């Protein structure tokens, strides 16, 4: 068995072209059905996390945003660095 540790540095740029996308996520009605976000930063982090971890760059594929326009939120991912270390 060979074990590795891989570290990736990722830079995500999230551009909100329609502020209503974030505003709707901050309403009690929306949060009772989907996610509970404390502020706009958490909404943006949610978009970035799904792009980085799940490969979802189109917010329409996320719960609660299916009716948005594809250009309402743009997410760009840049991989800055990768480091692989053999552990055993």
On average, the pLDDT of the chain sits at 94
- Residue carrying structure tokens 């552990």: 87
H/E segment holding residue 9? strand 4-16
Total domains present in the chain: 1
Q: What confidence score (pLDDT) does residue 81 get?
A: 87
Containing structural domain, residue 14: 4-86
Q: Which residues contact 54 (CB under 8 A, 6 or more apart)?
A: none
Spatial separation of the C-alpha atoms in residues 14 and 44, rounded to whole Å:
7
pLDDT at 80: 80
Confidence of residue 61 (pLDDT cuts 50, 70, 90): very high
Contact by Cβ (8 Å): 72, 15: no
Q: Which two tokens stand for residue 86?
A: 């053999």
Give the pLDDT score at 68.
Answer: 95
Three-class SS state of 74: strand
pLDDT band at residue 77 under the 50/70/90 scheme: very high
């Amino acid at each position: 068995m060979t074990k590795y540790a891989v570290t990736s540095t990722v830079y995500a740029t999230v551009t909100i072209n329609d502020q209503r996308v974030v505003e709707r996520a901050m309403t009690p009605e929306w949060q009772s059905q989907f996610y509970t976000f404390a502020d706009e930063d958490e909404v943006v982090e949610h978009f970035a996390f799904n792009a980085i971890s799940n490969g979802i760059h189109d917010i329409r594929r996320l719960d609660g945003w299916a009716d948005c326009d594809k250009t309402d939120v743009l997410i760009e991912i840049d991989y800055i660095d990768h480091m692989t270390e053999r552990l055993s």
